[in-house]
Structure 1
């Protein structure tokens, strides 16, 4: 299914949210959030897109690979770790929601608007993953 053709207005609404978070979240954090959620959700299309874009923007490939094991990796700042932990908690949203320690650590770093924007960024990539995975969207072929 091509969601943009099946529901153009709905697709534009998601694009609008994506545009908002791109304008309001630090680009490096946004890349890490998008990649981590996409890996967690098994979205090959999004993992390919975000790693390709990040490499083109000069992000270090080792850091991108290490997103899969961010807790064990030495390549991330405390702020990035807090964003990745929040991404995991929101993406995997269990019965008990986001653990207090994860939320409190993020709230100690970012003000309320910044934290709200991070939450919107995490939710937005999860929406994209939940569009791409069920519609079986594939990355372009290797050249």
Structure 2
């Protein structure tokens, strides 16, 4: 089902949002988490939420950050592939749990949190949680207003 956007992206309509988003981006990307890990987390959460605009921009950003096609193509099946490090797996598991909050009574179970904490310092964990929340924020804006990936892929 392809439909037209309902409106311009709300973040573009309200001028003060851009500054806030830039601060979130800067904070998440300055905490020491590898950029490729943040891009993978963003892309995986966007895949789960079915946000075509964020999946498109996320894949492009991941490639720009040095991510390989092989890993990008396997991201949805990250558990079943050998392409991801233990730290990336911990970040992806955390991202999936934090994205699927309503799927279980304990939204982010202790073992998922403990594994992430084993690989990331508190500041890095804060950045991961903030980045997943930011991603989910944009996924919800885009899904609600039916923002689409650009048609001129190139």
**TM-score, structure 1 as length reference:** 0.91
Distance 1:5 1:124, change over 3 A: closer
**TM-score, structure 2 as length reference:** 0.85
Higher relative contact order (CA 8 A, sep 6+): 2
Alignment of 1:26-105 (within 5 A): 26-94=34-102, 95-105=105-115
| Separation of aligned partners in 2, 1:134 and 1:90 | 19
- Structure 2: any 5+ residue segments left out of the alignment? 1-6
Distance 1:17 1:38, change over 3 A: same
Root-mean-square deviation (Å): 1.6
- Structure 1: any 5+ residue segments left out of the alignment? none
Determine if contact 2:44/2:75 at 8 Å carries over to the other structure.
Answer: yes
Distance 1:103 1:57, change over 3 A: closer
